[in-house]
């Protein structure tokens, strides 16, 4: 959605690292999560980018400005809700990211609600297009 606004190679790498971290935090990368990561790569104009072995803290430390934090957080929430599940490992990862970025619970809830609404609208659009 917003990743085309990220122009720094370092931030692109950090986002891909974060996406891979979050997608695999529960021990399994769901097919829909992998599809999101591939869409992210396409949106950022990346053909291939191998995730690094940085820790979550190292990944998040690179993200300094508010605008980029907002983009990362919204896109990661979209990834987390891509498979329709929000398990404890994902909740913990979101908590760590939210805290590292200095976001309030209210901001988190606002972003989460928006992401869920957008996901529902997208699903409805897919259904409408598929109608005879």
Which is more confidently placed, 85 or 114?
A: 114
Which is more confidently placed, 85 or 102?
A: 102
| pLDDT above 90 coverage of the chain, percent | 52
Q: In the 8-state DSSP scheme, what is residue 44?
A: T
pLDDT of 121 strictly over 90: no
Contact predicate 77/119, CB 8 Å? no
Please name each of the domains of the chain with its CATH number.
3-130 (1.10.3680.10)
Give pLDDT, residue 28: 79
User: What is the number of other CB atoms lying within 10 angstroms of the CB of residue 73?
Assistant: 23
Give pLDDT, residue 5: 92
């Amino acid at each position: 959605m917003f990743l085309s606004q990220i122009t720094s190679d370092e931030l692109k790498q950090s986002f891909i690292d974060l996406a891979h971290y979050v997608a695999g935090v529960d021990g399994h990368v769901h097919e829909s999560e992998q599809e999101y990561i591939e869409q992210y790569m396409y949106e950022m104009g990346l053909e291939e980018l191998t995730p690094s072995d940085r820790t979550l803290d190292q990944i998040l430390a690179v993200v300094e400005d508010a605008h980029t934090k907002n983009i990362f957080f919204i896109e990661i929430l979209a990834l987390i809700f891509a498979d329709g599940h929000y398990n404890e490992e994902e909740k913990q990862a979101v908590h760590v990211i939210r805290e590292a970025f200095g976001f309030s619970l209210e901001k988190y809830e606002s972003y989460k609600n928006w992401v869920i609404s957008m996901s529902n609208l997208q699903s409805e659009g897919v259904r409408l297009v598929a109608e005879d």
